[in-house]
Amino acid sequence: MPSRTPALFNAPAGPIVGWREGDLLHASGIRYARAKRFHPPVPEPAAKSPIQATKPAPACPQVADPLLDQVLGDLFTELTFSEDCLRLSLTLPADCGPDERLPVIVWVHGGSYVSGAGDLPMYSPAALVQEQRVVFVAVTYRLGLLGFLGGEGAAPPNLGLLDLREALRWVQRNITAFKGDPALVTLLGHSSGADAIAHLLVAEGARGLFRRVIMHSAPLGLSHNRLAMNQAMLRATGALPAHAPVEEVLAYQERAQRVARRFGLKGGMPFGTQYGAYPLPTEASVERAWEAAAPEVDVLIGGTAHETRFFAVISPTLRLLPQVPLLGPRVTNLLTALSSRYIYLGPAHAFAHRHARAGGRAYLFLVTFAPAGSDFGGAHTIDLPLLLGLPEQWAATPLLGQATWSQVNALGRQVRQHWADFARTGTLPASLDIPGVLRVDQVTSSA
């Protein structure tokens, strides 16, 4: 392991003490805002004394998911949990020249708006930063009931989205101190993180905070007609304790999730953005808002070939279906194809085509990577190790089947190159095919 030596960044936020490790510089756990429980974020004022940025950002408190742990392992071994989680972390090359300005990639993690954190080790950007000379910013924000449930007479909705907007404002003010170019900010999100990015495109006060977006597996098929479910969840929780221990609050979250199950597929992601609540437009006007934003933002959007197979494999009920003689595997494949198209792939196709028709540059991708020997195939999250992470986080998961990390890393190098090219220029080849890994096509206004 390379030794750590201190590194000082003189930023508008104040003097920030990070560290150098090998050929990378890091500054982690920097507070971009503070927020009282169920209140909007307040930007962090500039510090006069040095900010110690040598520990990972704490994760937002959340309810453990044993099914997820079976696939991905214990994700939080190196992290703490705290409501004081409005933090971000930066990674950049150590050999930047004095006047160098690098493209910036801001990572918005997924987890159905209820789990995850920006600084999970499985999201390590080391390879991406080393190979592509980008500045990587990982954001941690409020989740679940703390960040995405609210309504009339209750907490404001969309608090987690406001957290992300505040983080992007911090990036605009401070990124030049980390050799980043504030005019070349690309948002990169997975799953609910990609869904959040789609809605930042139309969020009041977010215009100009980013130039490009890359959205992996955004569950946009679940983003509409959520009002009845949100209201049922609010009735189930009742008045929420503003000062009780956070464990008590999370118990209310589980109650809300149980009520949401009767709303079908949407109940699989009960927390999320709410239209018509600040800073989002109404549901009836959101498509027009996306069209209005299109000329100013380049879009790269897509998903994996068999998105919902991830959930079919880990679900105690659905995992029995393939064992049914004759029809079981066929029914499983049909349900996976239909649900993947409804939740992820169809809405991505529609988003890209609407964006292009409205005058924006748009690319549509499909990750076809499906490791041999894996029950998951080309499922949700199989794209992540092609971009982020280190072998100790990914090699032991059943997702990769018989694939070795050296094989995954070699394939991932090609994906990282193209994604960084998009962050630099907003363009990719009109048609790109990496056999067995990835297909990308530019969407035109006439398509």
Q: In this structure, what token pair is assigned to residue 199? A: 């809605």
User: How large is the average pLDDT for residues 31-55?
Assistant: 97
pLDDT of the residue at 333: 78
pLDDT of the residue at 176: 98
- The tens digit of pLDDT for each residue in 219-270 reads 999 999 999 999 999 999 998 888 899 999 999 999 999 999 999 999 999 9
For CA atoms 428, 430, 433, 438, give the dihedral sign: positive
pTM: 0.95
Cα-trace Rg, the chain: 21
Query: Could you tell me which of 40, 85, 41 has the C-alpha nearest to residue 61?
Result: 85
- pLDDT of 96 > 60? The answer is yes
Residue 139 lies in a domain: yes
Q: What CATH number is attached to the domain comprising 340? A: 3.40.50.1820
Q: Is residue 235 classed exposed, middle or buried when 0-12, 13-18 and 19+ CB atoms within 10 A define those classes?
A: exposed
Residue 141 lies in a domain: yes
Q: Evaluate whether 117 touches 109 at the Cβ level (below 8 Å).
A: yes
pLDDT of the residue at 1: 57
Helix axes 346-357, 286-293, angle to 10 degrees: 60
Residue 232 lies in a domain: no
8-state DSSP, 47 = P
Residue 336 lies in a domain: yes
- The tens digit of pLDDT for each residue in 293-349 reads 999 999 999 999 999 988 877 765 555 556 556 555 676 778 889 999 999 999 999
Distances (CA, A) of 238 to 230, 253, 283: 12, 11, 25
- pLDDT of 69 > 80? The answer is no
Q: Which of 112, 216, 307, 355 is catalytic?
A: 307
**First-last CA distance in the chain:** 51
Q: Which of 190, 216, 306, 380 is catalytic?
A: 380
Residue 258 lies in a domain: no
Structural domain boundaries enclosing 338: 4-222+282-443
Q: In this structure, what token pair is assigned to residue 438? A: 């990835």
Residue 243 lies in a domain: no
- pLDDT of 150 > 60? The answer is yes
Residue 270 lies in a domain: no
Question: Which H helix or E strand runs over 312?
Answer: helix 309-314
> Helix, strand, or coil here: 59?
strand
191 tagged catalytic = yes
User: How large is the average pLDDT for residues 120-146?
Assistant: 97
Min mean pLDDT across 112-121, 206-215, 328-337, 376-385 is at: 328-337
- The tens digit of pLDDT for each residue in 430-442 reads 999 999 999 999 9
**What percent of the chain lies above the pLDDT cut of 70?**
95
Cα separation of 208 and 186, whole Å? 11
Q: Average pLDDT over the chain, rounded to whole?
A: 93
307 tagged catalytic = yes
Residue 358 lies in a domain: yes
Query: Could you tell me which of 272, 248, 28, 36 has the C-alpha nearest to residue 160?
Result: 272
Q: Evaluate whether 160 touches 147 at the Cβ level (below 8 Å).
A: yes
Query: Could you tell me which of 307, 57, 257 has the C-alpha nearest to residue 167?
Result: 57
Cα separation of 315 and 318, whole Å? 5
pLDDT of the residue at 325: 61
pLDDT of the residue at 217: 98
CB atoms within 10 A of CB 369: 22
- The tens digit of pLDDT for each residue in 392-429 reads 888 878 899 999 999 999 999 999 999 999 999 999 99
pLDDT of the residue at 321: 55
Q: Evaluate whether 422 touches 212 at the Cβ level (below 8 Å).
A: yes
- Give backbone dihedrals phi and psi of 306, rounded to 5 degrees, phi first: -135, 60
Q: Which residue has better confidence, 129 or 310?
A: 129
Three-class DSSP labels, 141-189: CCCHHHHHCCCCCCCCCCHHHHHHHHHHHHHHHHHHHHCEEEEEEEEEE
340 tagged catalytic = no
DSSP string spanning 332-401?
HHHHHHHHHIIIIIHHHHHHHHHHHHTT--EEEEEE----TT-SSSS-TTTTGGGTS--HHHHTTSGGGT
CB atoms within 10 A of CB 391: 14
The length of the chain, given as a count of residues? 447
Domain count of the chain? 1
Q: Which of 191, 192, 223, 374 is catalytic?
A: 191
Cα separation of 408 and 414, whole Å? 10
Cα separation of 68 and 60, whole Å? 17
Do β-strands 298-304 and 212-216 pair in parallel, antiparallel, or remain unpaired?
parallel
> Helix, strand, or coil here: 135?
strand
